Amino acid sequence: DINKLHRISDYQWRIDPVNGMHVPGIIFASKDLILDMDEKVYEQITNVARLPGIVNASYAMPDAHWGYGFPIGGVAAFDPEQGGVISAGGVGFDISCGVRTLHTGLTVQQVMSKQKELADVLFKTIPAGLGSTGVFHLNKKEMNAMLNGGARWAVERGLGDQADLERIEEYGCMQGADPDQISNHAKERQKNEMGTLGSGNHYLEVQKVVEIYDQNIAKRFGIELNDIKISIHCGSRGLGHQIGTEFLKSMVVSAKDYGITLPDRELACAPINSKIGQRYLGAMRGAINCALANREIITHLTRQAVKHIFPDIHLDLLYDVSHNTCKLEQHEVNGKRKNLFVHRKGATRAFGPGHPALPATLREAGQPVLIGGTMGTASYILAGTSESMQLAYGSACHGAGRCMSRHQATKLWRGSNIIQQLADQGVLIRSPSRRGVAEEAPNAYKDVNDVVKSADQAGLSRMVAKLEPLICIKG
């Protein structure tokens, strides 16, 4: 109900604090997106605003839709000095799910003359689908090394390039992981799943740059019109899911001990400075490393696959961003620097120009923000802005966002028809699951163009380039 919202600008809307909300809710979106937005998003961001120690506001990005506890597209930061909490539902089950984009140096003609061969070799090389297993198997010792080392571990094992590391958040390795806080069951689930895409909306996509909006930043990112890029979207597989499930349960129980009244069971959380809060942090950081290692290994496999067809091509990494995390960051609150735990669930970090966390080669341009659309529409690359640092802790949307449930989508579409339609449009889909393709039908998502325009107009990020799919390997 739009009447409950105060319009701050064309792209920013506010819910005033009522009934136990410590802070307002803020939604960044155009009026059209607001009118179509799932009502659950309002309820969920107001519930998040009731959690202890929340700072500034409870935010929703333009792609927001219903999620477990927190909306997907939710951003909230908590102050450990004010009893702030950490919430497993505020990170999400696919911990550190994220996107990376690779430069290929290939031309559109090169790819189109081998489109089918390339699709087939990628599909053969990258394990995809529910419960897919990889070619690497980790024993206990290697599992712990991976959980501590992330993409750096993969590079040390020859499963990635040294040069990739500076193009990954945290330089490829999240500090403060504590593998001892991760259950054997979680590790067991993961031991054969490294280097796999998983199912659902995870993908590897060969894309063509069809539009440039900011020449200057595009140049710094190494993006030109008609370039071929490869984007990879996946996360921490069974390990992250198991950690999320286990800690959610224990946080429901421990909330009582810490005197926290949960506005919604799904918002189970624990004080950052509590035993269980610290245990979750250590486990979650291990899962971040798992996702970073996973995307690094998939990149390694992709490089091998592409070499089969284009032996002289090397893929360089533009950037790797996660969109399901909780991170300790410094932000300015009422003129003071504060250490905050920023939850981004289905939201991409989008640090602005000059931020010290960015590598020297990207610092002036701002952080690349990688946004998926669908397998049949566009995806976008944006750049973080200085304004964004003030608006929502340097965060932006992470995708188009679903506008209907998977179940609804399978009632409306058949996977085989979608694959045929997309082939007619020149997009080759390869997937182990027809049902999965139907669930992911392009029309099951919001219009990515509207979402990205909202993020740009709200000031969360700047549009840099638009990409369209040529090949999509779907999980």
The listed partner (ligand 5GP, Mn ion, none) that binds 472, CB under 5 to 8 Å by sort, is ligand 5GP
475 exposure class (CB count in 10 Å sphere: 0-12, 13-18, 19+): buried
Binding mask 66-105 for ligand 5GP (x = CB under 6 A): ------x------------------------x--------
Task: Find the shortest distance in angstroms from Cβ 97 to ligand 5GP.
Answer: 5
Pick between residue 263 and residue 376 the one whose CB is nearest to ligand 5GP.
376
Task: Find the shortest distance in angstroms from Cβ 12 to Mn ion.
Answer: 25
Structure tokens at 128: 């995809």
Structure tokens at 284: 């979650």
179 lies in the binding site for ligand 5GP (CB under 6 A): no
Pick between residue 53 and residue 74 the one whose CB is nearest to Mn ion.
74
Pick between residue 97 and residue 451 the one whose CB is nearest to Mn ion.
97
Pick between residue 30 and residue 379 the one whose CB is nearest to ligand 5GP.
379
Residue nearest to ligand 5GP (CB): 399
Pick between residue 237 and residue 323 the one whose CB is nearest to ligand 5GP.
323
91 lies in the binding site for Mn ion (CB under 5 A): no
56, 87, 144, 201: which one binds ligand 5GP (CB under 6 A): 201
Pick between residue 172 and residue 346 the one whose CB is nearest to ligand 5GP.
346
Alpha-carbon distance of 128 to 399, in angstroms, equals 20
Q: Phi, psi (5° rounding) for residue 206?
A: -95, 125
Task: Find the shortest distance in angstroms from Cβ 252 to Mn ion.
Answer: 23
Alpha-carbon distance of 466 to 225, in angstroms, equals 9
Q: Which of 288, 307, 317 is nearest to 160 (CA)?
A: 317
Task: Find the shortest distance in angstroms from Cβ 258 to ligand 5GP.
Answer: 30
Structure tokens at 64: 């927001």
Neighbours of 416 (CB within 10 A): 11
Pick between residue 220 and residue 430 the one whose CB is nearest to ligand 5GP.
430
Structure tokens at 77: 């930061």
One-letter amino acid at 127 equals P
Could you give the strand order of the β-sheet that contains 72-78, starting from the edge strand earlier in sequence? 6-9, 12-15, 25-28, 54-65, 72-78, 336-345, 324-333
Of residues 391 through 450, those in contact with ligand 5GP by CB under 6 A are 398-401, 440, 445
Alpha-carbon distance of 201 to 176, in angstroms, equals 29
Q: Phi, psi (5° rounding) for residue 191?
A: -60, -25
Of residues 222 through 251, those in contact with Mn ion by CB under 5 A are 235
Neighbours of 458 (CB within 10 A): 27
Tell me whether residue 398 is one of the annotated catalytic residues.
yes
**Cβ density class 252-282: b for 16+ within 10 Å, e for less:** bebbeebebebbbebbbbbbbebebbbbbbb
Pick between residue 80 and residue 235 the one whose CB is nearest to Mn ion.
235
Judge contact between 238 and 58, C-beta under 8 A.
no
228 lies in the binding site for ligand 5GP (CB under 6 A): no
Judge contact between 190 and 138, C-beta under 8 A.
yes
Task: Return the axis-axis angle of helices 237-257 and 275-309, rounded to nearest 10°.
Answer: 170
172, 238, 373, 394: which one binds ligand 5GP (CB under 6 A): 373
374, 385, 395, 461: which one binds ligand 5GP (CB under 6 A): 374
Binding mask 258-297 for ligand 5GP (x = CB under 6 A): ----------------------------------------
The listed partner (ligand 5GP, Mn ion, none) that binds 373, CB under 5 to 8 Å by sort, is ligand 5GP
CB under 6 A: which stretch of 38-46, 173-181, 369-377, 384-392 binds ligand 5GP?
369-377
97 lies in the binding site for Mn ion (CB under 5 A): yes
343 lies in the binding site for ligand 5GP (CB under 6 A): no
379 lies in the binding site for ligand 5GP (CB under 6 A): yes
CA torsion sign for 246, 247, 249, 250 is positive
Query: Beta strands 461-474 and 428-430: pairing type?
Result: parallel
474 lies in the binding site for ligand 5GP (CB under 6 A): yes
The listed partner (ligand 5GP, Mn ion, none) that binds 34, CB under 5 to 8 Å by sort, is none
Tell me the number of residues near ligand 5GP by CB under 6 A. Answer: 23
The listed partner (ligand 5GP, Mn ion, none) that binds 72, CB under 5 to 8 Å by sort, is ligand 5GP
Return the HEC string of 146-201: HHHHHHHHHHHCCCCCHHHHHHEHHHHCCCCCCHHHCCHHHHHHHCCCCCCCCCCC
Pick between residue 84 and residue 235 the one whose CB is nearest to Mn ion.
235
321 lies in the binding site for Mn ion (CB under 5 A): no
CA torsion sign for 170, 173, 176, 181 is positive
472 lies in the binding site for ligand 5GP (CB under 6 A): yes
Place of tokens 């002036």: 364
Q: What residues act catalytically?
A: 398
Residues near ligand 5GP, by CB under 6 A: 63, 72, 97, 201, 203, 205, 233, 323, 346, 372-375, 379, 398-401, 440, 445, 469, 472, 474
Residues near Mn ion, by CB under 5 A: 94, 97, 235
